[in-house]
Amino acid sequence: MEFQAKWIRTSEETGGVCPVFRKGWKTEKEVERATLYLTALGVYEAHLNGKRVGNYVLAPGWTAYDKRLQYQEYDITDLVVEENELIVTLGKGWFRSPMPGWQDTPDKLQRMGRPGGILGEVHIVYMDGSEEVIVTDQSWTWGESRVRFSETDENGKLSLAGIMNYLQDCSVFHSEDVGNGTDMLKKRDRVWLLNSWQIIIKERPRCCEYIEIGTQAYQFKGTLGKRNFCIQRQDGTQCVVANSNWVLVQKSQMRPVRITEEDSSPYELGTPLDMPYADRKIAAPKEGIVMEPITVRTEHLDSNHHVNNTQYVLMASRYLPSDFSLHQVRAEYRYQALLGDTMIPVVTKEEDGQIIVQLKKDEQTAYAVVAFQ
């Protein structure tokens, strides 16, 4: 395919923040077929009218950038409406990151200095036989990460799921950027599993607000790694701060392993975020109200084939009163729940107003314990 489009890039360096490119258009005739062709110098994720385009992760994938670049083709016919907005979020990916084994070579600075960008076209065929091509060019706008409509709750504010997904994605992008992402860990039979969350919600940003999401590792000790997160507005106002604990696991045996220099050296340790820190372990109440069991379904799973950390919290949040004002979420993950497993929710309201939900495996064991306050 010969692209008519032009590469578009940000007009300034965005640091560790993923820029968001957007283009709106109208379709005033009935659409027969619509196709999106898209690639990037970096990794991208596209949304059309608030819905994810395709299910490709870390597109366009690794390649020899000086010689060739892969692109993806998506059928977006069912996503096109009269008023359209295409949003593409761009991460550094392999293109701008120090690759494994290259961290201490001059190539690192060269790679980090490369300008990322996207190249894409929307081809629309109308029922009357006419065609239209929408290309990436200077008519597109860009900004830093923006709260999408699909990430908001009934009040138009960033939802709990949206918050947790931002944090989780930020940690994935960070590891990819330093050359210690999922593919590299897989080769070494390693995986980082989340042990606990502490998320403090100061103020939820509203739909379409521009936000910045940042993360840093600040300690490695034994089998445990510690990582902070912050979601803030462009003026620096903090909306969400978080602390997390991660366990390094030998994937084939699913047992913790000690963190070595090879595991930790890609990360530059920062200073712990200024926030009140809670213990990573949550004391499970002895009594509570037993709710209807929950069976693990495929939509609860992530690429490690177990229930994703966000899903446990969302399951537990079902039991919050409709007028509950949420300021902090703590979660302790104890056992992995797999497809077909049954969780028994046990809900306890503490005297201080805190609500603790145990997602139990049996009378003695919990998959996860989640505390809301």
Give per-10-residue mean pLDDT for the chain (373 aa). 88 69 91 97 91 89 84 96 92 72 56 81 97 93 78 94 92 83 89 96 91 90 96 87 97 94 90 95 95 96 92 97 95 96 97 96 95 97
Contacts of 364 (CB under 8 A, 6+ apart): none
Same fold, 150-276 and 281-373: yes
Integer angstrom CA distances of residue 61 from 38, 39, 68, 176, 209: 12, 9, 11, 12, 29
What pLDDT was estimated at residue 98?
A: 59
> pTM of this prediction?
0.67
**CATH second-level architecture of 20-143?**
Sandwich (2.60)
Residue showing tokens 């993923």: 18
In 18-65, beta strands by DSSP E: 20-26, 31-41, 43-48, 51-52
Could you give the CA distance from residue 325 to residue 316 in angstroms, rounded to a whole number? 15
Tell me 183's DSSP state: H
> How high is the pLDDT of residue 182?
83
Select from 247, 243, 199, 198 the least CA-distant residue to 221.
247
HSE-CB at 41 with a 13 A cutoff on CA atoms is 18
Question: Which CATH number does the domain 281-373 belong to among 3.30.2010.10, 3.10.129.10, 3.40.710.10, 2.40.50.100?
Answer: 3.10.129.10
Domain boundaries, the chain: 20-143, 150-276, 281-373
| Number of other CB atoms surrounding residue 50 within 10 Å | 13
Q: Report the C-alpha gap between 161 and 270 in whole angstroms.
A: 27
- State the distance between the two ends of the chain, measured CA to CA, in whole angstroms: 54
CA distance 222 to 224: 6
Q: Give residue 174's pLDDT.
A: 84
Query: What pLDDT score does 276 carry?
Result: 96
- The top-level CATH class assigned to 150-276 is alpha beta
Q: Name the token pair of 317.
A: 């949040």
